[in-house]
A and B are shown apart, each in its own frame.
Chain A
Amino acid sequence: MSEESNIDIYRRRFLSGTASAAAGLAVAPGVMLTEVANARPADQAVTSEVRWGMLIDTNKCDNGCNDCVSACNEEHNLGGFDRPATDAQWIRTVTLKDKQTGNVQTLPLLCQHCEHPPCVDVCPTGASFKREDGIVLVDKHICIGCRYCMMACPYKARSFIHEKLQDQMPYSPRGKGTVESCTFCVHRVDEGITPACVEACTAEDHNAMTFGDMNDPDSEISQQLERYSSRQIRADLDLNTGVRYRGI
Chain B
Amino acid sequence: MKQQEFKEISGGKPFYMVLGFFGLFVLAALGSAWYMEHNGHWVTGMNNQIVWGMPHVFAVFLIVAASGALNVASISSVFQKTAYKPLARLSGLLAIALLVGGLAVLVLDLGRPDRLIVAMTYYNFKSIFAWNIILYTGFMVVVGIYLWMMMERKMNRFTKVAGFSAFIWRLILTTGTGSIFGFLVARSAYDTAIMAPMFIVMSFSFGLAIFILVLMGLYNWSDRPLGDSILFKLKNLLGVFVASVLYFVLAYHLTNLYITRDHGVEEFILLNGGVYTSLFWIVQVGLGSLVPLALLYSPSTGQSRGWIGIASLLVIIGGLAQMYVIIIGGQAFPMELFPGKEVSSAFYDGVVGSYTPSLPEIVLGIGGVAIALAATFVGVRVLRFLPSSLADEAVDPHYSAREAEATA
Seen from chain A, the residues whose Cβ lies within 8 Å of a Cβ on chain B are 81, 83-89, 92-100, 109, 118, 120-127, 142-148, 150-156, 158-164, 176-179, 233-234, 237, 248
Residues of B contacting A100 in the complex (Cβ-Cβ under 8 angstroms): 340
Is B256 part of the binding interface, using a Cβ–Cβ cutoff of 8 Å? no
**CB-based nearest A residue for B124:** A126
Is B118 part of the binding interface, using a Cβ–Cβ cutoff of 8 Å? yes
In angstroms, Cα B340 to Cα A248, docked, is 12
Closest-CB distance, B250 to chain A (whole angstroms): 25
Is B257 part of the binding interface, using a Cβ–Cβ cutoff of 8 Å? no
In angstroms, Cα B38 to Cα A176, docked, is 10
Q: In the complex, which of the residues A121, A144, A160, A178 contacts B48, with contact meaning CB atoms closer than 8 Å?
A: A160
Please state if A84 and B41 are interface contacts (CB–CB under 8 Å). Answer: no
Secondary structure class of chain B's binding surface, majority of residues? loop
**CB-based nearest A residue for B341:** A96
Please state if A161 and B40 are interface contacts (CB–CB under 8 Å). Answer: yes
In angstroms, Cα B118 to Cα A139, docked, is 12
Please state if B349 and A92 are interface contacts (CB–CB under 8 Å). Answer: yes
**CB-based nearest B residue for A234:** B337
Q: In the complex, which of the residues A86, A124, A152, A162 contacts B184, with contact meaning CB atoms closer than 8 Å?
A: A152
In angstroms, Cα B233 to Cα A172, docked, is 61
**CB-based nearest A residue for B50:** A85
Q: Known: A84-B346, A124-B133. Is A154-B48 also a contact (CB below 8 A)?
A: no
Q: Known: A95-B343, A99-B342, A151-B331. Is A233-B337 also a contact (CB below 8 A)?
A: yes
Please state if B51 and A97 are interface contacts (CB–CB under 8 Å). Answer: no
Residues of A contacting B335 in the complex (Cβ-Cβ under 8 angstroms): 154, 156
The stretch from B109-117, B166-174, B312-320 touching chain A is B109-117
Task: Please list 24 pairs of residues, one from A and one from B, whose beta carbons are closer than 8 Å in the complex, sorted by A's number.
Answer: A84-B346, A85-B354, A86-B46, A89-B48, A93-B346, A96-B342, A98-B340, A98-B341, A109-B349, A118-B184, A142-B115, A144-B119, A145-B115, A146-B110, A148-B129, A152-B186, A154-B185, A156-B347, A160-B41, A177-B40, A177-B112, A179-B111, A233-B337, A248-B338
Residues of B contacting A88 in the complex (Cβ-Cβ under 8 angstroms): 48
From residue 21 to 53 of chain B, which have CB atoms closer than 8 A to chain A? 37, 39-42, 46-49, 51-52
**CB-based nearest A residue for B53:** A147
From residue 130 to 188 of chain B, which have CB atoms closer than 8 A to chain A? 130, 133, 180, 183-187
From residue 76 to 129 of chain B, which have CB atoms closer than 8 A to chain A? 110-113, 115-116, 118-119, 122-124, 126-129
Please state if A146 and B337 are interface contacts (CB–CB under 8 Å). Answer: no
Is B344 part of the binding interface, using a Cβ–Cβ cutoff of 8 Å? yes
Closest-CB distance, A243 to chain B (whole angstroms): 13
Please state if A154 and B337 are interface contacts (CB–CB under 8 Å). Answer: yes
Closest-CB distance, B154 to chain A (whole angstroms): 40
- One digit per residue, 1 when the CB lies within 8 angstroms of any chain A CB and 0 when it does not, for chain B 293-330 equals 00000000000000000000000000000000000000
Please state if A124 and B127 are interface contacts (CB–CB under 8 Å). Answer: yes
Please state if B110 and A145 are interface contacts (CB–CB under 8 Å). Answer: yes
Please state if B40 and A121 are interface contacts (CB–CB under 8 Å). Answer: no
Please state if A123 and B47 are interface contacts (CB–CB under 8 Å). Answer: no
Residues of B contacting A87 in the complex (Cβ-Cβ under 8 angstroms): 48
In angstroms, Cα B93 to Cα A42, docked, is 57
Please state if B52 and A163 are interface contacts (CB–CB under 8 Å). Answer: no
Residues of A contacting B331 in the complex (Cβ-Cβ under 8 angstroms): 151
Residues of B contacting A233 in the complex (Cβ-Cβ under 8 angstroms): 337-338
Please state if B122 and A125 are interface contacts (CB–CB under 8 Å). Answer: yes
Closest-CB distance, B310 to chain A (whole angstroms): 35
Is B255 part of the binding interface, using a Cβ–Cβ cutoff of 8 Å? no
Please state if A124 and B119 are interface contacts (CB–CB under 8 Å). Answer: yes
